[in-house]
Structure 1
Amino acid sequence: MKILLKNAKLADPERSSPQTGDLLLEDGRIVGAGGHITVEDAETVDCTGLTVAPGLVDMHVHLRDPGFTEKEDIQTGCRAAAAGGVTTLLCMPNTRPPVDEPDTVTYILEKAQQADVRVCVAGALTMGLRGEKRTNQQMLRDAGVTALSDDGRPVENSRLLAQAMQQAAVLELPVLCHCEVPELTDGGKMNEGAVSRELGVPGVPRASEECGTMQVLTLAEALGLPVHVCHVSTKGSVAMIRSAKKRGVQVTCETAPHYFALTEEALRQKDADLRMSPPLRTEEDRRAVITGLCDGTIDAIATDHAPHTPAEKADFLTAPNGAVGMETSLAAGITYLVEPGFLTLAQLLYKMSAAPAKILRLPYGGLTPGAAADLVLFDANESWTVNPEALHGKSKNAVFKGLTLQGRVKRTYCGGRLVYQA
């Protein structure tokens, strides 16, 4: 079937500015882009006032399936992704069992065939995510993994991590690192600072993330190998990564919307939905993250979508870390980065689609003819208030709940198939 998107602002992140025109989809691909397109046998969608962009690529998602499907599963997680304009996601391996054997990879990929969006799988770097023995990376790659990570836990053994990075490079698999020193984090519930001291709550120092970041950067530089740093949250990590890039270290990194939008001040209400790892930091850190996004130090924006049940999140001090964010990520980017003038819309979309696709070595065609018809249609000017009960995933621990954001997804197409309509 042919679908004709008429009168849209075509926002290809690899072009300087949006162009008003039409987009023709057929058999899951873009077959015409720009200008005025006339075709008789197509479903026509009037996109006046809407921006059409390539679907977002979220390279850091916890689908909780297998093993924790009371929180989320592959179908519901992908439903939430579609509602946020995400058409491709990378799911993390900290499931039960972990994604350390080919059978688990096969389970996820087979179940994802019926999902609304494209699911890529991150295989574990170490067996059981314990940091003691490397997984069989060749078998995981053959089973279909896109990347390797022990996300949720750092690989503290530098020799083991170095060996894993070397093998991953041979297999052409990106390595994604959760940078943390558990001994420094131990017992911490929020950023260590003035607010944690005022509340009498144990804190997590910046040094925990920054020491872990330094370990990863040092290995990447010494080995001459690429590495990706997950969820950057501190000014020190941004500075170290910036310096490493200037020296030619092959490092890429991501941050999440909550790190450029919120600070530790939000934790004064002791709401566990605002607790995640790493934690919300200071205003100084938030500004450093924004600067890192502006100057290219931070390559990508991902959500670290981490669902938990209301019962788990009921108590501030005992709740697990994590918040859901796929349905709010685009709006948060528009609200906190584009509207204040830090990034253009094209720059934001690049960090949320093209950049993560390239880091993960996924095909990316933008809005050019021949590219997959993975698209998000949104109203960049519409404001809305985040209501957790209206979200599409199982869990409602939304980091932006109750806040008014600008930019609302109206439709999402994945492979030319309409997977979400507001």
Structure 2
Amino acid sequence: MTVTTRISGGDVVTPSGTVRADVLIGDDGTIAGLVSPGTTIGDDATDIDATGRLVLPGMVDVHVHTREPGYTHKEDITTTTEQAAVGGVTTIFGMPNLDPPTTDRKTLDEVLALYAEKSIVDYNHNPAPTNFDDIASMAEAGINAYKIYMVVDTGRTYPHPAGTGMHDHGHLLQMMDLIKPTGKRFIIHPHDQALMDYIEGEVLARGDNTPQGYAGAYAARDGVIWDTAIDVVLRLSEASGCPIHIAHMQTRRSIDAVRRAKARGVDVTGEVNHWALFLSTWSDVETLGPYALSYWVPDDHRAAVWEGLLDGTIDVISSDHAPHTREEKEIGWTKMWSAHTGTPGIQYYYPLLLDAVRQGRIPLERAVEAAARRPADAFGLAGVKGRIEVGYDADLVIANLDSPWTITNDDVLSRVGWTPYDGRSIGVRFERTLVRGADVFAGGAVVGKPGHGRLATAHNSEGR
């Protein structure tokens, strides 16, 4: 292997700690070595000066809504992965709530072909396992996880279209039994639909269709719709032996339940999305309204979320990048149950997390573990992604932790043109992102080209 690139003089975040080292990148796009600064390597490698900077593994984001196919007025694969490149995300896992929804091998193959043509960063996709006869075949296509919603939308047909939902417990157990032999992880959006029908009905009967009414309904009775659903899926995972991943962790009780399940040996991972850590306070709901929803996370639950992230009960950070147009949001000021919920987040989540490191809210190594190492290991990319180690893909981010700036809508690369973080000051700037050793973001601009991304699997080391 020939060393083609040397990232010199930076503080490199490795699984064993942060060290001052030069990172050597081979001509196959993998990490060829970590050497002491200035070590002679005897070749004509391109040098990237990272003095005074952190060198981090790129984020592996397992929860991303690209909106393609079917909803490209909101976003598409290229615009999503442009934001990923700027935000230090080097691998994305797409979601199945598309048109047509990704529920069988044919639609999965079509979506993977779109990624191959249009993605700037590496990728995978999480189809919905609602067509039982296609579960094994979809695994053979190279996916690393499946995704289901335990929800039916009230007053709208999106963002949870038909074909992607299942809340019948017997069918969920059957799905787990069929997924287990594939060895893939099962991502579940938890939701107790029967309880939500009752709770929503009470709120709407009062004529309260506001963002505040919506926020209160989803957090009602100390988060009961989340807690009961998560209790069910933990027990079904234990009964089936199917590895599961819980999306949108946001309540104190459910975090405790996951903590206890892990202690019993249940193979469960969980995620926290950008809005649960950095958005969706009651003040955000009142001032940003539909633009802050996703969900409201009461302060005591947010404290539990941070604690769960710090101690590893919540394994990973995932953006839940969910862009919607202003028109789809604006209706929510008076008819929140008709608005499309979700917020764009992939461009800013990793920088916001590193800013939390700068503020002393989370240790650097834990932040990087949650963003890169743990999602890679839990989602079938061990040995390939998520670490700065010899033999791993050179998916790297160079970050300046002392570079204040302000997030504005003018900088948003999403097709929707807005961010809920407009006007927020941040002290961390990402200066460069590499995917398999090639620049995709450098000099303040996206330089990666559509089609650079590859399907991220544990076997990518073959035929690079």
Normalising by structure 2, what TM-score?
0.83
The question of whether the paired residues in 1 share the 8 Å contact of 2:247 and 2:272 is answered with yes
Q: Among 129, 148, 151, which residue is 1:150 paired with?
A: 148
Q: 1:303 Cα deviation (Å)? A: 0.6
Q: Among 52, 55, 60, which residue is 2:55 paired with?
A: 52
- Please give the per-residue CA displacement for 1:141-172, whole angstroms capped at 9, x wherever unaligned: 12232211124565211111111111111011
The question of whether the paired residues in 2 share the 8 Å contact of 1:380 and 1:407 is answered with yes
| Percent identity of paired positions between Structure 1 and Structure 2 | 29
Structure 1 letter corresponding to 2:284? A
- d(CA) in 1 for partners of 2:261, 2:21: 41
Q: Among 435, 438, 441, which residue is 1:417 paired with?
A: 438
- d(CA) in 1 for partners of 2:326, 2:339: 10
SS at the partner of 1:307?
coil
Alignment of 1:251-400 (within 5 A): 251-262=268-279, 263-276=281-294, 279-316=295-332, 317=336, 318-336=338-356, 338-364=357-383, 366-400=387-421
Q: 1:221 Cα deviation (Å)? A: 2.0
The question of whether the paired residues in 2 share the 8 Å contact of 1:100 and 1:140 is answered with no
Aligned length: 407
Q: 1:199 Cα deviation (Å)? A: 7.6
Structure 1 letter corresponding to 2:293? R
- d(CA) in 2 for partners of 1:396, 1:34: 42
Indicate whether 1:180 and 2:180 are aligned. no
Indicate whether 1:405 and 2:405 are aligned. no
The question of whether the paired residues in 1 share the 8 Å contact of 2:343 and 2:419 is answered with yes
Gap runs ≥5 in structure 1: 128-133
SS at the partner of 2:123?
strand
Q: 1:138 Cα deviation (Å)? A: 1.2
- Name the counterpart of 1:131: none
- d(CA) in 1 for partners of 2:85, 2:417: 16
- d(CA) in 2 for partners of 1:416, 1:388: 30
Indicate whether 1:126 and 2:130 are aligned. yes
Indicate whether 1:213 and 2:224 are aligned. no
- d(CA) in 1 for partners of 2:425, 2:196: 32
Gap runs ≥5 in structure 2: 150-159, 445-464
- Name the counterpart of 1:201: 213
Normalising by structure 1, what TM-score?
0.91
- Evaluate the alpha carbon distance shift between residue 305 and residue 200 of structure 1 in structure 2; reply closer, same or farther with a 3 A threshold: closer
SS at the partner of 1:362?
coil
- d(CA) in 2 for partners of 1:5, 1:95: 39
Structure 2 letter corresponding to 1:389? D
Structure 2 letter corresponding to 1:141? A
- Name the counterpart of 2:449: none
The question of whether the paired residues in 2 share the 8 Å contact of 1:234 and 1:288 is answered with yes
- Please give the per-residue CA displacement for 1:260-291, whole angstroms capped at 9, x wherever unaligned: 22323211114322111xx1211101000011
- d(CA) in 2 for partners of 1:261, 1:188: 26
The question of whether the paired residues in 2 share the 8 Å contact of 1:307 and 1:396 is answered with no
- d(CA) in 1 for partners of 2:23, 2:418: 36
- d(CA) in 1 for partners of 2:359, 2:85: 26
- Name the counterpart of 2:156: none
Q: 1:397 Cα deviation (Å)? A: 4.1
Q: Among 1, 4, 8, which residue is 1:2 paired with?
A: 4
SS at the partner of 1:249?
coil
SS at the partner of 2:195?
helix
Q: Among 157, 160, 167, which residue is 2:178 paired with?
A: 167
- d(CA) in 2 for partners of 1:124, 1:180: 16
The question of whether the paired residues in 2 share the 8 Å contact of 1:154 and 1:178 is answered with no
- d(CA) in 2 for partners of 1:270, 1:135: 44
Q: 1:184 Cα deviation (Å)? A: 3.5
- Please give the per-residue CA displacement for 1:53-91, whole angstroms capped at 9, x wherever unaligned: 111100100011111111111111111111111111110
SS at the partner of 2:213?
coil
The question of whether the paired residues in 2 share the 8 Å contact of 1:233 and 1:280 is answered with no
Q: 1:135 Cα deviation (Å)? A: 5.3
